[in-house]
Amino acid sequence: MKIAILGAGALGCYYGARLQESGQDVSFIVRSEYGYLKEHGLEVKSLHGDISLPHVKVYRDPAEVGPVDLVVVAWKSTANAGFAKALPPLMGPDTVVVTLQNGMGNAEEIARIIPADRIYVGLCFICAMRAEPGHVTHLEGGNIQFAPFVPSPEGSEKARELSELFASAGIKTRAFDAAEQIQWYKLVWNIPFNGLCLALGGISIAELYQNPENVARARRIMEEVVQAARARGYTLPDDLVEFHLSRTESMGSFIPSSAVDYNAGRPIEYMAIWGDPLAKAHQAGASLPEWEQLDRDIRKRLNMD
């Protein structure tokens, strides 16, 4: 299968490496690390088994790749203005696009460029860091949930096919029928932990857990996100908050992506992770005092007000 990975950060490199190792024809479309990847390849150090790829197909311009069977979007939502240039050269008559991006609003942006029924959402639960060019460290997780952007029987079947494709690369997967349901599932973690680590100045999970009040606050925010999902018509597992709390404590020195971007002076995925989901929750009439306070703290940290 011909697969194009848009974005070669930790996420794109990890899943692209797994797919290439499983025998798929993978092309990485990159910006900053083009030279290193072309000369040295890609190394992944993972708790699920290390991967060494001395040779990877790497390109700067999607037009050099041409039409593929599957486009995997792995860049930050802050790069979404690039869809208009990047997607058309990759699209053939049967090409589908999977966005593995954080938060909400990404599939809607892609739907401005290609038919909405060819778009799928993949929600990743993974701790991975790019320590240096061409080297990814995978610390925890890696599971993906897939769902069609436009619900339909055909979309659900294709989501199952995508799930099987990634499962054949050694990735735990599950297919769902509705994209918004799985988006809320991940936001239960992303909103509080990505948000608190950012709002508190770009700290790690270990630093966050040093203060019990931070953990208590994260719990309260998670419970509100679960309530927001319910108000939107999506019931999440009863044990989801406890599950996220227990898995997060073991992440140690891991720094969530928005805190990493803040520390590096890069743009933050504010709208995708906090702005758009909060607006959807407000539309549904949810009461969210803890989440709203976090939102104010983030906006203050980013000098948005």
pLDDT at 23: 97
How does strand 42-46 pair with strand 51-53?
A: antiparallel
Burial profile 227-241: b = 16 or more Cβ within 10 angstroms, e = fewer: bbbebbebebeeebb
CATH 3.40.50.720 in the chain, residue ranges? 2-177
Which residue type, as a one-letter code, is found at position 1? Answer: M
- For 119, the enclosing helix (H) or strand (E) is strand 119-132
Residue-wise pLDDT tens digits, 88-147: 999 999 999 999 999 999 999 999 999 999 999 999 988 888 878 899 999 877 899 999
How many whole angstroms separate alpha carbon 63 and alpha carbon 158? 26
CATH 1.10.1040.10 in the chain, residue ranges? 181-302
pLDDT at 64: 97
CATH homologous superfamily, domain 2-177? NAD(P)-binding Rossmann-like Domain (3.40.50.720)
Rounded to 5 degrees, φ, ψ at 269 are -80, 55
CATH topology for 181-302 is: N-(1-d-carboxylethyl)-l-norvaline Dehydrogenase; domain 2 (1.10.1040)
pLDDT at 33: 85
Of the candidates 45, 76, 172, 186, the residue annotated as catalytic is: 186
Maximum pairwise Cα distance, the chain: 53
Q: Which residue has the tokens 């630093």?
A: 207
pLDDT at 132: 87
pLDDT at 140: 79
Q: Please identify every stretch of the chain with a pLDDT value under 70, giving residue numbers as ranges.
A: none
Pick the closest to residue 123 from 163, 155, 95, 93 (CA basis). Answer: 163
Q: What is the pTM of this model?
A: 0.90
CA distances from 227 to 84, 215, 284 (A): 35, 19, 10
Tell me whether residue 186 is one of the annotated catalytic residues. Answer: yes
How many whole angstroms separate alpha carbon 16 and alpha carbon 156? 23
DSSP letters spanning 228-280:
HHHHTT-PPPTTHHHHHHHHHHTTTT---HHHHHHHHT----HIIIIIHHHHH
